[in-house]
Amino acid sequence: ATPIEKKPEWIKTRAKMGPQYTQLRDLVKNEGLHTVCQEAGCPNIFECWEDREATFLIGGEQCTRRCDFCQIDTGKPAALDRDEPRRVGESVATMGLRYATVTGVARDDLADGGAWLYAETVRQIHAQVPGCGVELLIPDFNAVPELLAEVFDSAPEVLAHNVETVPRIFKRVRPAFRYERSLDVIRQARAAGLVTKSNLILGLGEERGEVSQALRDLHAAGCELITITQYLRPSRRHHPVERWVKPEEFVELKQEAEQIGFAGVMSGPLVRSSYRAGRLYQQAVAA
Ligand code: SF4
Ligand code: SF4
């Protein structure tokens, strides 16, 4: 990718390769496995893989929705691949993961929005890798209770749905989603007894006070875990970075979120919604 905006100093990571990371890297290469961690060039890969945590994308490479911050292509998806859940389970087993995050594209082309695909992937990982935690990061399934129930019944350790931004600019950033509908997804997940999680991306044009309000809205909706991240522009077609949030502000936001009552918070310039997700889940369990 071509650098567009000049990144501040604190955006850069130091590469520290540990033994677990190098083992996983060789394995993934030799077995021809696919992870979001590698394919998105995630800067946290040394840390997450050292903890044997990784992220997988399901549903194909084309999304039926278009969000302003997202590098996934919008288009007509390929036919549903019913063997994909089994293969993801197999990859998690081969990698010997302790915690797997599964996310995917929106499949509005399918009658069930992909609910079966998401649920089956959780079931496959649990069946093939007993003891591995699964974090399922879902689109909104239009908040249809029957579709969400099908997904929730697969019993992921964490059910994540990201609001990503604040109400005032939500329509521009996520035209096919609705802020209130996303809060409703979290509300329904919590009511189903799941541990819930969401994410806010900063640098999309939101104001500081609006971030505080979104944190309060999420907590009121039953959200227990939160990640707060910096927007990085994937390409020139995407919205420019409106501001680089300073590391101190991320620390402040973490304290604020904890005061509001979140059980676990990850907040920082390089944090991603799946960053050290297993560790964050443990905080929710302990709370
Ligand atoms: Fe990206 Fe998800 Fe939005 Fe699709 S719905 S464009 S995958 S963020
Ligand atoms: Fe993988 Fe997510 Fe960790 Fe990045 S933050 S390395 S995508 S698990």
Q: Is residue 6 one of the residues assigned to a domain?
A: no
Is pTM beyond 0.90? Reply is: yes
Summarised one tens digit per residue, pLDDT across range 13-52 is: 767 889 999 999 999 999 999 999 999 989 999 999 999 9
SS3 state of residue 100: strand
Summarised one tens digit per residue, pLDDT across range 226-261 is: 999 999 988 888 889 999 999 999 999 999 999 999
Write the DSSP assignment of 101-162 as a string of letters. EEEE---TTSTTTTHHHHHHHHHHHHHHSTT-EEEEE---GGG-HHHHHHHHTT--SEEE--
Interface confidence (ipTM) of the complex:
0.98
Residue range(s) defining the domain that contains residue 231: 16-286
CATH number where 94 lies: 3.20.20.70
Total number of domains in the chain: 1
pLDDT band at 4 (very low <50, low <70, confident <90, very high): low
Q: Is residue 8 one of the residues assigned to a domain?
A: no
Ligand 2, CB cutoff 6 Å, lining residues? 36-37, 42, 44-45, 48, 53-55, 101, 272, 274-275
Task: Give the residue whose CA is nearest to atom 1 of ligand 1.
Answer: 70
Any idea which residue has 């911050």 for tokens? 69
Task: Give the residue whose CA is nearest to atom 1 of ligand 2.
Answer: 37
173 lines ligand 1 (CB under 6 A): no
